[in-house]
Amino acid sequence: MEFIAPRMRIVILAGEIPATTFIDSLINGIAGRGHQVMVMGTKKGTYNYDKNVISIAQPQSYITKLLRFIKALFSLRMAELKLLLNESKTIISFINQVVYYAPLIQFKPDKIHLQWASLVTQRELLFDLFPNKVMLSLRGAHINYTPVINRKVAEKYQILFPRVSRFHAVSNAIAQEAMKYGASENKIKTIYTSVDDKYLEKEIPQKAHLNELRLIAVGRFHWVKGYSILIDALKILKVSNTKFQLKLIAGNDIPEEIIFAIHQAHLSQNIEIIGNLPHPKVIEMMGNSDMLILPSVNEGIANVVIEAMAIGTPVISSNCGGMTEVIEHGVNGLLFNNRDAQALANQIDILSKMDSNQIFEMVQHARSKITTMFTRERMLNEFEQFYNE
Amino acid sequence: MKIGLVLPAVPGYSETFFRNKINGLKSKGHEVLLIVPYSSIENKNGYHIEFGPNLNGGSLSKVFNSFIALIKLVFTSFQSLNQFWNLERKSGTNTQAIIKKAIINCHLLKLQLDWVHFGYATTAIDRELVAKAIGAKMAVSFRGFDIGIYPIQHPGCYQKLWEHVNLVHTISNDLLEEAFQLGMPKGFPFVKITPAIEVSQFKSGAREYFKEGVIKLLTVGRLHWKKGLEYTLEALSILKKRGFKIEYTIAGTGAELERLIYAAYQFDLTEEVKFIGVITHEAVATHMATSDIYIQYSVQEGFCNAVLEAQAAGMLCVVSDAEGLSENVLHEITGWVVPKRQPELLATQLETLIKLPETILKSTSERAVNRVIDEFNLEKQQNAFEAFYHY
């Protein structure tokens, strides 16, 4: 049954606009249900939001900034101006504060939803201007490793997290991480990502066994993606005479480390690195592969895995972050111990030796996991409740 | 003799190899000129330096500076330029490319030298004919990155180099082997001169390993992916699980710092691993004197001075078999060599060595100290370079 929420006014602080696929899908989805949404961020490209969305890009030029400042001076109340003035050390920072906060104040939001934890540390005034309205999403590096690496960030979180009224976590695992920095458990709600409905419409084909394994991995080059672990695992497979081809789809420049590792492992004939591809093409390649591998050392819940499970490509993932909340080892996919190349090689070997009926059963389980937990409908219902609580 | 040493930058204080070499040659009465790309550095560290043309600005200033450089060259060093032109022409280079090369090499073409020595093979690319043009001999050094990594993305990059270089200097046999695989003709004249250290700065003295059951480990160097530090941390996490009490200090900084802090966290080593950043040479000696095991588990390594220093300081050295490291440390004679990228093997090797009788540890370290004193001292290196230029 659909939850009927009253019409609300919601600000999404997205960091950049357009934002990530997931955040943009949330913005349009919530606006599509009749709520008034304002999205704010630094403009990074062209965007086209639902008619119920007001988008405000941060002004880049001084002239735009100055004009917005003058306009804002007439619209803000004295108390608000005083607060902004008190928090500004210089006239420039006062102008910046006014330009940033004025549209938010004028919008009179019911909720302000920050998409990234770094925004909490940069925009502390939100707590004074909008008491009990600030909500934060717990996702990505901001929670998973920035505070581990940088103690100062961790200390700042400890001070500010108790002031956040509600948290959205992309996985239970990341909720646990955030609790280390003062996010209280009863304020956190886990809402999983969602997959495009169209991937759930097609029937899953049963794949034939081929002579050579077709592997695929998708995600930018970054140490957190664990590609060096994948290369070590493939080296083990190659030594044991397994035949395979890996397509590695990553949009950014190939790091020297990866080129060297592939060379040193004598895998240049086995690995094809493919640059930026349109998303439908990635999905098509995924569909033509025998397995998707996620060797990441940390993830919230990786979208590529959700997509692979939706379209019926078997998944082998590290047991990092939230991945164990999606994959039940041996039932709807396979897991290996994080950072363990030998364990990954073993799982690839196990999957390659499963008969096609076993695999078919596994991918059916994967699909049903997605249709129960990762639909857009479910995600939007949960967010509506989240904003309304 | 007058020797021009071509480097990508003026050597910093920590780049002991070039500093030692230059000082040694100077002390033997040679003149050493450093040839580096244009930069605005103030501190020349006492070197005699020839800077390249300034081609860093906008396109207008680039064109202007190039034009000036070329005109200057025509009037001051016409003969070398003419010679360079003819040589390049003979090797099939087109006019536009020759002009480009003449501009980027204008600072070299005006010099009168006995030797042009390219400090890294990569610094010789597009300069293969410069030495011949100015009537000098040409030498090139193989050092690690230039042979091990660069050619993977630039196949055939040294083809022209092999045709024109007179003498090759390698710091290890392994790099020489790799150069042969890259197309260097068999039988090519080469001289192996390894890095060397100021042995007197490190005192091996009497020491007791693993005091109070704590295994103190150390690595000094840039935090670069080449150094294999994630593998090292993985191996140490295995040791910890096997019940050993460890303390691991990593001195140095670099691009991989965040990745390594996070790896230490995930491997449950936050308490055991200390990242202490860049430390002075004196502090390195102190750390080496008070730690037990030095680890250099690189995936690629030319030779590694820090390993020489650790041996001189009486540490037990465990290294990977990457390039020069297995010549730097002799397995089970002066230390222990483990196949690279295999943390399980590294952990097992560490465990085996920790359990060895004290007498074996001491005799291994003694052999290492003596070998470094005999083979890797500065004087020997300096004499070898003196002989190199009389080849």
- Using the beta-carbon criterion (under 8 Å), do A297 and B344 form an inter-chain contact? no
Quick check: is B60 in a domain? no
**Residue B177 shares a structural domain with residue B253:** no
Phi, psi of A11, rounded to the nearest 5 degrees: -100, 130
What's residue B42's pLDDT? 65
Using CA coordinates, name the residue in chain A closest to B257.
A149
**Residue B166 shares a structural domain with residue B309:** no
**Residue B185 shares a structural domain with residue B237:** no
Q: Which of A144, A146, A148 should be substituted to probe chain B, the one whose Cβ sees the most B Cβ atoms within 10 Å?
A: A148
What's residue A78's pLDDT? 86
Quick check: is B106 in a domain? no
- Using the beta-carbon criterion (under 8 Å), do B153 and A338 form an inter-chain contact? no
**Residue A205 shares a structural domain with residue A339:** yes
B147-B148-B153-B154 Cα dihedral, nearest 10 degrees: 10
Task: Per residue of chain B (391 residues), give pLDDT as tens.
Answer: 999 999 988 887 667 778 888 888 888 889 999 998 887 666 677 788 888 888 877 788 888 888 888 888 888 889 999 999 999 999 899 999 999 999 989 999 999 999 999 999 999 999 999 999 999 999 999 888 888 889 988 999 999 999 999 999 999 998 899 999 999 998 889 999 998 988 888 887 778 999 999 999 999 999 999 999 999 999 999 999 999 999 999 999 999 999 999 999 999 999 999 999 999 989 999 999 999 999 999 999 989 999 999 999 999 999 999 989 999 999 999 999 999 999 999 999 999 999 999 999 999 999 999 999 999 998 898 899 989 998 8
Q: Which of A70, A69, A35 is nearest to A51 (CA)?
A: A35
What's residue B69's pLDDT? 85
Q: For the domain that residue A170 is a member of, what is the CATH number? A: 3.40.50.2000
**Residue B225 shares a structural domain with residue B362:** yes
**CA–CA distance, B265 with B261 (Å, rounded to integer):** 6
Q: Which of B231, B259, B297 should be substituted to probe chain A, the one whose Cβ sees the most A Cβ atoms within 10 Å?
A: B259
- Using the beta-carbon criterion (under 8 Å), do B266 and A297 form an inter-chain contact? yes
Using CA coordinates, name the residue in chain A closest to B341.
A232
Q: DSSP letter for B54, please.
A: -
- CB contacts of A261 in chain B (<8 Å) are 299
Using CA coordinates, name the residue in chain A closest to B270.
A148
- Using the beta-carbon criterion (under 8 Å), do A149 and B149 form an inter-chain contact? no
Quick check: is A279 in a domain? yes
Q: DSSP letter for B331, please.
A: B
**Could you say which residues from 240 to 259 on chain A have a Cβ atom under 8 Å away from some Cβ of chain B?**
255-257, 259
| Strand intervals (E) in B143-213 | 167-170, 190-192
Quick check: is B42 in a domain? yes
Name the β-bridge partners of A291: A215
Q: DSSP letter for B289, please.
A: H
**Residue A189 shares a structural domain with residue A319:** no
**Residue B177 shares a structural domain with residue B129:** yes
Nearest to A149 among B149, B262, B299 (CB): B262
What's residue A42's pLDDT? 92
Quick check: is B172 in a domain? yes
**Residue A254 shares a structural domain with residue A313:** yes
- Using the beta-carbon criterion (under 8 Å), do A339 and B262 form an inter-chain contact? no
Q: Does B96 touch chain A (CB under 8 A)?
A: no
Phi, psi of A337, rounded to the nearest 5 degrees: -65, 125
Helices and strands, counts by H and E, chain A: 19, 13
**Residue B230 shares a structural domain with residue B275:** yes
**Residue B143 shares a structural domain with residue B209:** no
**Residue B175 shares a structural domain with residue B302:** no
**Residue B11 shares a structural domain with residue B160:** yes
Sign of CA dihedral B227, B230, B235, B236: positive
Q: Does A69 touch chain B (CB under 8 A)?
A: no
What's residue A1's pLDDT? 47
**Residue B282 shares a structural domain with residue B246:** yes
Name the β-bridge partners of A374: none
Quick check: is A270 in a domain? yes
**Residue A190 shares a structural domain with residue A209:** no
Q: Does A49 touch chain B (CB under 8 A)?
A: no
Q: How far is A87 from chain B (nearest CA, A)?
A: 32
Q: Which of B329, B352, B301, B312 is nearest to B337 (CA)?
A: B329
**Residue A157 shares a structural domain with residue A220:** no
Domain that holds residue B242: 199-375
DSSP B95-127: HHHHHHHHHHTHHHHT---SEEEESSGGGGTT-
**CA–CA distance, A307 with A283 (Å, rounded to integer):** 8
Q: In sequence order, which residues have a C-beta less than 8 Å from that of residue B120 and are 6 or more positions away?
A: B7, B8, B141, B143, B145, B146
- Using the beta-carbon criterion (under 8 Å), do A339 and B299 form an inter-chain contact? no
Task: Per residue of chain A (389 residues), give pLDDT as tens.
Answer: 455 667 899 999 999 999 988 899 999 999 999 999 999 999 998 888 988 899 999 888 888 889 999 988 888 888 888 888 888 888 888 998 899 999 999 999 999 999 999 999 999 999 999 999 999 999 988 999 899 999 999 999 999 999 999 999 999 999 999 999 999 999 999 999 999 888 988 888 887 767 799 999 999 999 999 999 999 999 999 999 999 999 999 988 999 999 999 999 999 999 999 998 999 999 999 999 999 999 999 999 999 999 999 999 999 999 999 999 999 999 999 999 999 999 999 999 999 999 999 999 999 999 999 999 999 999 999 999 999 88
Number of domains in chain B: 2
- CB contacts of B149 in chain A (<8 Å) are 256, 260
Q: How far is B180 from chain A (nearest CA, A)?
A: 17
**Could you say which residues from 184 to 223 on chain B have a Cβ atom under 8 Å away from some Cβ of chain A?**
none
Q: Does A127 touch chain B (CB under 8 A)?
A: no
**Residue A166 shares a structural domain with residue A244:** no
**Could you say which residues from 304 to 363 on chain B have a Cβ atom under 8 Å away from some Cβ of chain A?**
341, 344
Domain that holds residue A51: 9-58+110-194+375-388
Quick check: is A234 in a domain? yes
Bridge pairing between strands A166-169 and A134-138: parallel
What's residue B13's pLDDT? 63
Quick check: is A2 in a domain? no
Quick check: is A348 in a domain? yes
**CA–CA distance, A91 with A97 (Å, rounded to integer):** 10
Cβ-based neighbour number of residue A346 at 10 Å: 17
- CB contacts of B153 in chain A (<8 Å) are 256, 259
- Using the beta-carbon criterion (under 8 Å), do A256 and B300 form an inter-chain contact? no
Nearest to B259 among A223, A261, A264 (CB): A223
Tell me the two tokens of residue A115. 């998409």
- Using the beta-carbon criterion (under 8 Å), do A148 and B265 form an inter-chain contact? yes
- Using the beta-carbon criterion (under 8 Å), do A145 and B258 form an inter-chain contact? yes
Using CA coordinates, name the residue in chain B closest to A340.
B234
**Residue B316 shares a structural domain with residue B341:** yes
Quick check: is B46 in a domain? yes
Nearest to B341 among A232, A257, A338 (CB): A232
**Residue A168 shares a structural domain with residue A306:** no
Q: Which of A256, A263, A299 should be substituted to probe chain B, the one whose Cβ sees the most B Cβ atoms within 10 Å?
A: A256
Nearest to B266 among A261, A263, A338 (CB): A338
**Residue A130 shares a structural domain with residue A20:** yes
Query: CB pairs below 8 Å between A and B: how many?
Result: 43
Number of domains in chain A: 2
Q: Would you call the peptide bond into B185 cis, given omega within 30 degrees of 0 as the criterion?
A: no
- CB contacts of A259 in chain B (<8 Å) are 152-153
Nearest to A256 among B149, B234, B261 (CB): B149
**CA–CA distance, A126 with A132 (Å, rounded to integer):** 10
Nearest to B299 among A223, A264, A339 (CB): A264
Task: Please measure the distance between the N-terminal and C-terminal CA atoms of chain B and give it in whole angstroms.
Answer: 13
Quick check: is A3 in a domain? no
Q: In sequence order, which residues have a C-beta less than 8 Å from that of residue B18 and are 6 or more positions away?
A: B5, B7, B11, B119
A115-A120-A126-A131 Cα dihedral, nearest 10 degrees: 90
What is this model's ipTM? 0.89
Quick check: is A67 in a domain? no
- Using the beta-carbon criterion (under 8 Å), do A228 and B230 form an inter-chain contact? yes
**Residue A259 shares a structural domain with residue A328:** yes
Cβ proximity of A218 and A282 under 8 Å: yes
Quick check: is B95 in a domain? no
Q: For the domain that residue B174 is a member of, what is the CATH number? A: 3.40.50.2000
- Using the beta-carbon criterion (under 8 Å), do B261 and A256 form an inter-chain contact? no
What's residue A2's pLDDT? 53
- Using the beta-carbon criterion (under 8 Å), do A260 and B152 form an inter-chain contact? yes
Q: Measure Cα distances from B292 to A67, A373, B197, B254, B348 in Å.
A: 66, 53, 20, 24, 17
Nearest to A149 among B153, B261, B300 (CB): B261
Nearest to B152 among A145, A263, A338 (CB): A263
**Residue B232 shares a structural domain with residue B187:** no
What's residue B14's pLDDT? 62
- Using the beta-carbon criterion (under 8 Å), do A339 and B267 form an inter-chain contact? yes
DSSP A177-199: HHHTTT--GGGEEE------THH
**Residue A334 shares a structural domain with residue A255:** yes
Nearest to A145 among B225, B262, B344 (CB): B262
- CB contacts of B323 in chain A (<8 Å) are none
Nearest to A148 among B152, B262, B341 (CB): B262
**Residue A317 shares a structural domain with residue A383:** no
**Residue A172 shares a structural domain with residue A209:** no
In A136-278, alpha helices (H): 141-144, 146-149, 151-160, 172-179, 198-201, 227-239, 256-264
